[in-house]
Structure 1
C-alpha cells in the first residue's frame, strides 16, 4: 500500500470520528493527560497543517503552536478538520519524488518520511479520540506496520522531550494496535 493511500485512510477515520462528535464531547478527557478532546483534536489538525506546509510550501503552525493544544476548532470542528485534510491531500498529491527533501517543523527530511510521520500522528490521535469517546479503533496490517516503523524512530527522541510517556507493557497476545499505542506511552486497554 502506498503512502498516499495510507494517509487518506487515516484521514478518513479521523473525519469519521469527528463527524459524530458533539460539542459537549470536546470537554471530555483524552488519553493525553494534559489535554481534553478539544486540545487533542486541535493538536491533530495543527500537525496535519504543519506537514501540509512542508509539502506545499504554504503557512503552517510553529513548533510551539503545534504542541500547545490551543483551540483552533472554533464552533465547527468538522469543517476545520475537513479543510485541513483536504489541504493535506492536495499538498501530498504534488510530491513526485518521495526522496526529495521537505522542511517540516521537525527539520528537513525526505518527503516519504514526512508523510509517514503525519500518517502516524493521525492514526495515533484517532485512537486517542476514539478512546475518549468510548469507541474502539483497530489498525489494519498496513497501518500497524507503518505505525510501528515510524513510532520506533519518532517516539524515543520525543520521549526525551516529554512529548510521549514511557512505554507501557502490553498484555500477552496484544493486537498490533495495542502494541503501537503501548509503545507510545498509552494504556492499550
Structure 2
C-alpha cells in the first residue's frame, strides 16, 4: 500500500497490543449482559438501535479476529456487515470472538505489515487501531443504551486518545465516526475520546463517563 494512502496515517507510533488485549473483558461484560428486551433501545450511534449496534460489534470481533490472524477475506458473505448475527447464543459467540480478537491483536507482530478487511490490503497497525477504538468506544455505546456502568481500561483510553488526537480527522474522512463533539479540555480523558469520535459524553444522562 502506498505511503500516500490515507490509511497509512492511521498506523500508531507503537503496537497497541497490550491495550487491545486489556480492553476485551470490559466490552465483553456489557455486550453479553444485554437482554433481549433491551435490543430495541436507542443508542448514541445515530439511527442504530441496540440490536443494530450489537450486530456491528459482533461483526467487529469476528472480522477483527480474521484480520489480526492475516486470514483471507471470506467470499461466502459471512463477513457481510449487514448479516444478522443475533441468532442462537450470540452472547457466547461474541465472547469467544472478542477473546480471539484480543489474542490475535495482543501479539506485537500483528501490528506489522499489511492485512485486509475489504477492498484490498491496508496497514495492519492502522486497522488494528480502528478495531481498538471500536472495542473501547462501542463498549460505552452499548453500556449507555442498556443503562449499565462501563469502565474501560485506563491505558487503553490513554492510547486511544493519543492516537485520535492526531488521526481523528483522517478517520472522519472515510466515515469511521461523525463530526467531533466539543468537550472541555478539563473533562475526563475518556469524555474527550468520546467527543473526538462524534459522541456526546452526556448522552443518556448527565453523568460523564
Instruction: Calculate the TM-score normalised by the size of structure 1.
Output: 0.81
2:156 to 122, 125, 143: 143
Unaligned ranges ≥5, structure 2: 1-13, 203-209
Q: 1:30 is matched with which residue?
A: 43
Higher-Rg structure is 2
| Structure 1 position 17 matched with structure 2 position 30 | yes
User: Hey, what's the Cα distance between the residues in 2 that align with 1:94 and 1:159?
Assistant: 27
Runs of 4+ in 1 over 4 A off after TM superposition: 58-62
CA contact (8 A) 1:50 1:60 kept: no
Instruction: Describe the SS at the equivalent of 1:102.
Output: strand
Q: Measured at CA, do residues 153 and 81 of structure 1 come closer, stay the same or move farther in structure 2, by a change above 3 Å?
A: farther
Larger helix fraction of residues:
1
Q: 2:18 is matched with which residue?
A: 5
User: Hey, what's the Cα distance between the residues in 2 that align with 1:108 and 1:153?
Assistant: 23
Instruction: Calculate the TM-score normalised by the size of structure 2.
Output: 0.74
User: Hey, what's the Cα distance between the residues in 2 that align with 1:5 and 1:100?
Assistant: 18
User: Hey, what's the Cα distance between the residues in 1 that align with 2:34 and 2:198?
Assistant: 25
CA contact (8 A) 1:73 1:80 kept: no
Q: Which structure is higher in RCO with an 8 Å CA cutoff and minimum separation 6?
A: 2
The RMSD of aligned alpha carbons is 2.9
Q: 1:178 is matched with which residue?
A: 191
The alpha carbon displacement at 1:8 in A equals 2.3
The alpha carbon displacement at 1:10 in A equals 1.5
- Residue pairs, 1:81-100, within 5 angstroms: 81-92=94-105, 96=109, 98-100=111-113
Instruction: Describe the SS at the equivalent of 1:96.
Output: helix
CA contact (8 A) 1:11 1:85 kept: yes
Instruction: Describe the SS at the equivalent of 2:116.
Output: strand
- Residue pairs, 1:108-127, within 5 angstroms: 108-127=121-140
The alpha carbon displacement at 1:123 in A equals 0.3
Instruction: Describe the SS at the equivalent of 2:111.
Output: coil
Q: Measured at CA, do residues 162 and 85 of structure 1 come closer, stay the same or move farther in structure 2, by a change above 3 Å?
A: closer
CA contact (8 A) 1:30 1:132 kept: yes
Unaligned ranges ≥5, structure 1: none
**Count of residues paired in the alignment:** 186
Superposed CA offset, 1:31-53 (max 9, x none): 01211111111111212222222
